[in-house]
Structure 1
Amino acid sequence: MPIRSILTGLIAMVVLLSSALAQPRAQYKIVTASKSGTYIQIGRDLAKWVAEPAGIELDVLESKGSAENVQRMRFEPGVKLALVQSDVYQAFLDEAKAGNADAGNIIRPLRLIMPLYDEEIYFVARADSPLNAIHEIKNKKIGVGALGSGTALTSRTLYQLMFGEQMPAANAQYLTNEEALAKLTVDKSIDVAIIVAGQPAKLFSDMKPEARNYIKILKLDDAAPETARAKKTYFPATIRAASYSTWLTADIPTLTVKAYLVTYDYGLQSTVGNLGRFAESLCKNFDKLQANGHPKWKQVRLELPALGQGWRYYAPMEKRLRACIAGHAAAGGPAWARTQPAGRDCTEQEWVLGLCKR
């Protein structure tokens, strides 16, 4: 072969390689929750151990929580992923089924990637409070979480399940976790702060031993009829003393809600391709997430269980994940492989979800 032909071929290969290397990395965003919560740490883990190997630059954004995340996932440019509580996702589906056009517009194009882990629900009272159990919070002044947060929806849903009535509007204060703890312990204007976070949550793990002089966590009483009603939607769990060894002296029974990784029903070929690579990277690097990420990753199973009515996986990612999971299982791989209509006032739930304004 003539030298000129060989050189021409080599030059062509260099040009092609340079062109491929020059391709910009996809720049996506994931919405999480507050900087003191677990969601933001999960988002950072996904950015480092999953997105980066897939050639995606994933910007991890703070938010008020799940309800806001659903809205931003639907409408904010660049947001391709979100972390959302199961009860919030279901609440949007329920609103859509009840005829709320805005809820339908928001939730119907959203798709699940996979379930993650259970988030513990903390009912925090002052250390000197006469309250000791979760079912004793009826008619108390409660910090229910910020507007737009999953905590606010969880707080209201749990209250209604336990007591058969909505939480009185005058008793609910929509506060961030930090604001709620300040109002609980400093000016004492609320009796209980409800906080949803996977343990160990930075908000509590950063506390010093003296914290037990100011706050306590209320216990779930299995004998209470209110507990039986709450368990229709939520599940029992334990806040472990080992998670907060600096100030917690005993395990505390509580309730949990499931966290999900969510995306949109994208059809653009480049986005489908990028998210497909993300799914493969999630499967291939799952052991690294469990070894190096937040402790909650150790509770996650890489599997795609059957979903309830109205819940759907994102098909391109589902296909990649199922193929990868099946491949690992066949090879004897790691353990894990085995707006409001006119003329009607908005309801409290619609207001909390950001579907209308008062």
Structure 2
Amino acid sequence: MLKKTLIGLTGLCALLFAICAAAAGGTGGNPAHYKIVTGPERGTYIQIGNDLSKWVAPPAGIDLEVIPSKGSAENVQRMRFEPGVKLALVQSDVYQAYVDMANSGNQDAGTTIRPLRLIMPLYDEEIYFVVRNDSPMKTINEIKDKVISVGLIGSGTAQSATTLYRLMFNQPIPEQNTQHLSNEDALAALIVKKIDVAIIVAGQPAKLFTDMNPDLLQQIRFLRVDPNAPETARAKQTYFPATIRVSSYPNWLKEDVPTWTVKAFLVTYDYNLRDTVGNLNRFADSLCDNFDNLQEHGHPKWKQVKLELPSLGKGWQYYPPVEKHLKACLARRAAMQAAAGSGSGTPERAAASQKLNRRPCSEQERLLLLCGK
């Protein structure tokens, strides 16, 4: 009798353990290990990734590893093909470039971008046009035919720089005038007069400048948007006006500098495995629950993020499970705010990585890391 009782108790304990483990849904002692690809070590993306890893991932039962990268185009590729990468930060113009190339018939671009899905838009990133302090240039429309560092191949900076130049001047940057340097190397080359302009994309305040030696900072400055230049009107087809504020660099800038901006998005894949879907749903719930913490304790750019899901252009889609959770969260927050009278609101990855012999790559394909696929 005692033996049967013990066996029964053992079975009951096992059953209770299984029920508790199932109820935990992955939020217990064995968190899911995911990766988010971000950007350069001194950029804004990696700080945004660190904030998500600190404030959002742990309550969702996710151990989120923050991975530096060259930038948006590399992030798209790694999001699509690298095991373990479940989240990526991507510039809107880079995402749109993939969509446009896919729509034009580029099979590699289609294979890469069509299974990707958006979680939500984040904030605007400023585009810095940096010159030496002794440069005769004052405005952005004066960079034509100058030697320019446009950023590393695979970076969002390279996409923004080349797209802006093409919009402004109706032609690509001459190959002999193009340098693909990292942000740090570009500033060094600028100071020693190896290039004329360094184009850098980063949300302000950017650690690249806040951590820079004050003596070196005094040797460089930013070009301004000329509102009356015809090049400015053409750039407005894709990019939006922004301001680099004195408050972001109070020990350096003497006045605000008008420039251009590009939107950053949090991106995932169209996953359908139950565990992955569940983990990302919990991530969405935690993002909602901890949004105020991100705005209070995270990078200053979080204060510009709105917890909303605006309509998307053709070829852009939200990730349906997360979209459902975020919309439910938005409804709850709106109801709570209305009640308070505040009136304010806030198939698992396919293994399609086989490479095809292709014709020579275009400049756009090189920047989007589609060469050799």
Into which bin does the TM-score normalised by the smaller protein fall?
over 0.9
2: CA distance between counterparts of 1:336 and 1:230? 33
Deviations 1:104-141 (A, max 9, x none): 00000000000000000000000101111100000000
Q: Relative to structure 1, is the Cα distance of residues 22 and 158 closer, same or farther in structure 2, using a 3 angstrom cutoff?
A: closer
- Verify the 8 A CA contact 1:207 1:246 in the aligned structure 2: no
Deviations 1:165-184 (A, max 9, x none): 11111111011101101111
For 1:30, the equivalent position in structure 2 comes to 36
Q: How does 1:48-67 map to 2 (within 5 A)?
A: 48-67=54-73
**Deviation, structure 1 residue 159:** 0.2
For 2:370, the equivalent position in structure 1 comes to 355
For 2:255, the equivalent position in structure 1 comes to 250
Deviations 1:192-238 (A, max 9, x none): 00000000010011134423431010011101110111011000010
Of the three residues 237, 241, 247, the one matched with 2:246 is 241
1: CA distance between counterparts of 2:186 and 2:254? 23
Of the three residues 318, 332, 337, the one matched with 2:345 is 337
Q: Relative to structure 1, is the Cα distance of residues 9 and 119 closer, same or farther in structure 2, using a 3 angstrom cutoff?
A: same
- Verify the 8 A CA contact 1:208 1:247 in the aligned structure 2: no
For 2:74, the equivalent position in structure 1 comes to 68
Q: How does 1:291-330 map to 2 (within 5 A)?
A: 291-330=296-335
2: CA distance between counterparts of 1:52 and 1:314? 21
Of the three residues 229, 232, 235, the one matched with 1:227 is 232
1: CA distance between counterparts of 2:220 and 2:233? 26
Task: With the length of structure 2 as denominator, give the TM-score of the two structures.
Answer: 0.90
Greater shift, 331-340 or 103-112, is seen at 331-340
1: CA distance between counterparts of 2:360 and 2:233? 32
Task: With the length of structure 1 as denominator, give the TM-score of the two structures.
Answer: 0.94
Q: How does 1:156-305 map to 2 (within 5 A)?
A: 156-186=162-192, 188-305=193-310
Root mean square deviation of aligned Cα: 2.2
1: CA distance between counterparts of 2:253 and 2:81? 41
**Deviation, structure 1 residue 357:** 4.8
For 1:152, the equivalent position in structure 2 comes to 158
**Deviation, structure 1 residue 53:** 1.0
For 1:95, the equivalent position in structure 2 comes to 101
For 2:88, the equivalent position in structure 1 comes to 82
- Verify the 8 A CA contact 1:148 1:353 in the aligned structure 2: yes
Amino acid at match of 2:301: K
- Where does structure 1 differ by over 2 angstroms across 4 or more consecutive aligned residues? 4-23, 207-213, 333-342
2: CA distance between counterparts of 1:345 and 1:81? 31
Amino acid at match of 1:167: I
1: CA distance between counterparts of 2:334 and 2:138? 46
Unaligned 5+ runs, structure 1: none
1: CA distance between counterparts of 2:18 and 2:187? 58
**Deviation, structure 1 residue 185:** 0.6
Aligned residues: 354
SS across alignment from 1:194: strand
2: CA distance between counterparts of 1:307 and 1:323? 19
- Verify the 8 A CA contact 2:218 2:252 in the aligned structure 1: no
- Verify the 8 A CA contact 2:357 2:372 in the aligned structure 1: no
- Verify the 8 A CA contact 1:70 1:82 in the aligned structure 2: yes
Of the three residues 112, 117, 124, the one matched with 2:118 is 112
- Verify the 8 A CA contact 1:207 1:247 in the aligned structure 2: no
- Verify the 8 A CA contact 2:71 2:156 in the aligned structure 1: yes
Greater shift, 333-342 or 56-65, is seen at 333-342
Instruction: Work out the percentage of aligned pairs sharing the same amino acid.
Output: 64
Unaligned 5+ runs, structure 2: 347-354
2: CA distance between counterparts of 1:87 and 1:152? 11
2: CA distance between counterparts of 1:39 and 1:354? 19
- Verify the 8 A CA contact 1:351 1:357 in the aligned structure 2: no
2: CA distance between counterparts of 1:316 and 1:194? 38
